[in-house]
Amino acid sequence: SQQGEEDPQALSIQEGENATMNCSYKTSINNLQWYRQNSGRGLVHLILIRSNEREKHSGRLRVTLDTSKKSSSLLITASRAADTASYFCATLPTGTASKLTFGTGTRLQVTL
Partner 1 sequence: DTEVTQTPKHLVMGMTNKKSLKCEQHMGHRAMYWYKQKAKKPPELMFVYSYEKLSINESVPSRFSPECPNSSLLNLHLHALQPEDSALYLCASSQDRVLGGNTIYFGEGSWLTVV
Question: Which of 111, 112, 65 has its CA nearest to residue 92?
Answer: 65
Which amino acid, 103? G
User: Contacting partner 1 (CB under 8 A), which of 27, 41, 55, 57?
Assistant: 41
57 scored as a contact of partner 1 (CB under 8 A)? no
Residue 42 C-beta: closest distance to partner 1, Å: 4
The answer to whether the beta carbons of residues 46 and 60 sit under 8 Å apart is no
Q: Smallest distance from the beta carbon of 16 to partner 1, in angstroms?
A: 27
- Which segment (18-26, 28-36, 56-64, 65-73) binds partner 1 by CB under 8 A? 28-36
Size of the site for partner 1 (CB under 8 A): 24
Q: First-to-last CA distance in the chain?
A: 37
Whether residue 8 has a cis bond before it, omega within 30° of 0:
yes
Q: Does 103 bind partner 1 (CB under 8 A)?
A: yes
